[in-house]
Structure 1
Amino acid sequence: MQDCDEAKRPLGSQLHALRGVLDGLGALIFTKDRHGIYTYANQRFCETLGTSLEAIIGRSSADFFDADTAGRLQSDDRQVLETGCRISHRELRLSKDNHEQRCYLAVKAPVFDADGHISGLSGVLIDITEHARTEQQLRENQQLLMMVLDNVDGFVFMKGPDRRYRYVNRAFADLFLRSAEAVVGQDDNALMPAEDAHRIREIDDKVFATGVPIAVEEQITDGQGQLRHWWVKKLLLHGHGDALLGFATDITELKAAEEELKRSEARFRVLFEASHEALVVFDEAHLIDCNQSTLDLLGVSSREAFRSLTASMLAPRFQPCGGVSSKLAARHMEAARRNGHHQLEWTVQRHDNQARIPVEVTLSALELDGRPALLATIRDLTERKRYEEQIHQLAYYDALTGLPNRRLFFDRLAQSLARSQRSGRHGAIIYLDLDNFKPLNDRHGHRAGDLLLQEVASRLSACLREEDTVARLGGDEFAVLLAQIDDGQPDSQRDATLQHARDVAERIRDALAQPYVLAMDKGDAPTEQVEHHCSASVGVTLFPPCEMDGEAMLRRADAAMYAAKAAGRNQIRFAED
């Protein structure tokens, strides 16, 4: 009996040592009997389940794992126990207590008794949860990368040293009407004409030979036979068997737009240069470009000389309205940028002789090289202004004498009457008709009469102040408007106006009564001197600060004039109040 105890003592020590080894392993180790009941578990297995060895032995998988996990484990156990074969696979285990799911590499093998019969099974579990998570993350990242590459607006590809494709994204494959799988393993000769493939091969060879990245434009023929333009960057990836990685963008539409832009710019340049109107492109600080018509209008020798100037050098300091040119120009440019277009009248100053030219300017806002700019279309208004002045002269001035005509006289009279009503001050109208005028026409002709009327106009103007108006109303009838007579206090201003009007009327009567010497041009014959004596009958009326129209005022003066004629001519008469 003592010998038996002594024999058991080394065996117990060996078992204890073996369990110590198994507990020290990082793997989870267990054994089960033929009914799936745990008969042993190492320390790591117990720690994973969060319990003791005593609590595990005699219990089954269903006591520690959820029903799905327990079902799978029991199925694996039966397979080993029934076939006697070892199995190895990944398995997921969900703990019933903390609901934590772990992934294990599981190896299960049958255990045989002394008679060679299966008495149970042993299992070894290696926790590969973190490894599995890393693999899953890598798969997800790879899927995400593939999705991104397949949806990127461009072409991505990889070639090996044999110049065959190792990878292409979906856009690349679609370009050649193939699947990505059908392209991988092929070279460019299988995808496109030989000429295209040869050009691409030369670029690829250079990248492989030098290892230097290359960005270049390539032309290829796609699966539909259409010529496409690519902008492609190629670089060498070391550590991947020296693979060539390429990123390409289809610039076919951009190239077509560039060509159209070139044609459009050529057409614009032809129109720009052919325009008879001056065209100027400028921005806030610089004169950028102009056509030949601009150089001609502004007296500048060349475009280079024009670009060296500033806008302020091509305009007088003040515009006709009195505004400072630089400030007005800033407001006009701001209006053009705000509204897109703006039209104005302006006065430019030639660079060569400083002559001033009236122009009409149309400003159009545009963008030049990504910066705001303006296009000025400039039309010379010199002829139009001359015509407008001629029209104005014909409309408001007497063609023979150059004096204001009846229309302009009444316009100024209306203004004077309005001022008189506001200020309470008087003004005066002098109406006169020439005496002894008809005999001159009858004896020497209308040319002599015209010369006399011109001399009368000159003498009348010499008798008046600058602010007064003298007009020819028709024939040999003239009218004088004396306005803005400010002599005297308001209560005595009427008398002052009356005296002033009398003095002016006397000067006029005396001036017109002087002899007239008229030089009659006889063509090839010597000029004939014709002397004529002519006087004037003069009627005067004041216009008081009360409501009275111009026609009525002129009729009062006319009536006074006829009273002067009736009194023997060469007389002055005042209208009665």
Structure 2
Amino acid sequence: MNVKPPATLPNIVDLLLDAVFLVDTGGRIVYVSAACEGIFGYTPDEMIGMEMINLVVPEDRARTIEESGQVSAGRPRIGFENRYIRKDGSQVHLMWSARWSEADQLRIGVARNITERKRAEDMQTATYAISEAAHGANDFVDMFREIHRIITRLVPTAGFAVALRDGSAAEFSQPYETDVSGDPNVRRLFIDVIRTRRTVVHETERQADGRMESWIGLPLVLPAGVSGALILKSHPGTRYADKDRELLQFVSTQVAIAVERRRLNDELRRAARYDELTGLPNRRLFQDRMKSALARTRRHGGRIALLYVDIDDFKQINDSLGHTAGDQLLGEVAHRLQQCVREEDTVARLGGDEFVVLLEEISTPDDAQLVSTKITATINQPVHLDGSLLCVHPSIGIAVYPDDGETAEQLLKHADMRMYEMKKARSPGA
């Protein structure tokens, strides 16, 4: 028995809170229920004839086309999620159930607005993901690259930058940016964010096509003040709605915490591996590099050299001129040592006035002797300390792998011993 649907069925469909769509084989909308206006901002009459894919945010279009193909092939789909651009340029997150009507040659879809639910989920997910990025990234650039990826999943962006405060409000570093290089909006937003300590939105008209672009700057706020800003650019023709701003403000708070945590972690790592006074690698980092250099040399052959450098009569300089002058002298010696070696070599401070220089891939022991001569001549140059002209002299001991030993301990022992032999030979009465 054939039963015709009642004539009141369209009116019943219009009572649904979810939106009902009919889409033809060309992807154009042929019918929408009344609920679409509350979800999309367009009236049903405005949506008839639109290509459905043009309403989808650019980042979601490829997988939406793939999903539509599955439905058109006769495979009903339930629970597919994607994002759409509303009439006012803001975005809405939908969950779909859809099937194909062979008789009508139409896709029939029911869309539910899940924006609020997704926003709550996104906040929780973003908090965890940003914390993981802060802990797992190799450096700031890696961390910001991951944060960019996280934010793009929440709010589609056509451009993204991180600007960190450096001195006054007009000065900033930009450790990470994508598709906003050289755009004056970045500086303008950064200055406004630092000045107001608030989220700032600018809307500009594109010269190319007259479409509007929305820019948003979000402060990275810490107890000590605003440390920088996240800056996002929307896709042409879209804008950041109030709810997007609320979500991004929450995310910017998590990013500020992550930036500060990363800075503290980097400072702790540096303090553990670098000498505070000279900025040179300390004993721990030197031992790591020595171990790595020995391993490489054992695999590939060749020689490395170790120079043990000590400043003659440093205690007397410290006692007569004071510890401040002594610290200045050590800083100058460290600087001069770095000038005497290649970038791939290592200069480290072991403590006091004792330095070591690790020379990798030398051809003969004479190469180490040439560097030692250069160091001596460089350090012998007078040093200006508190208006005084001071002349200092280094004692240097050299050990070469594998001639003088095959372990770091053996090489250090030989270089230290030869350094003291030199010092003793140069001392009065020797």
> What band does the TM-score fall into relative to the shorter chain?
0.3 to 0.5
Structure whose alpha-carbon radius of gyration is higher: 1
Q: Name which structure has the greater RCO, CA cutoff 8 Å, separation 6+.
A: 2
Q: TM-score, normalised by structure 2?
A: 0.46
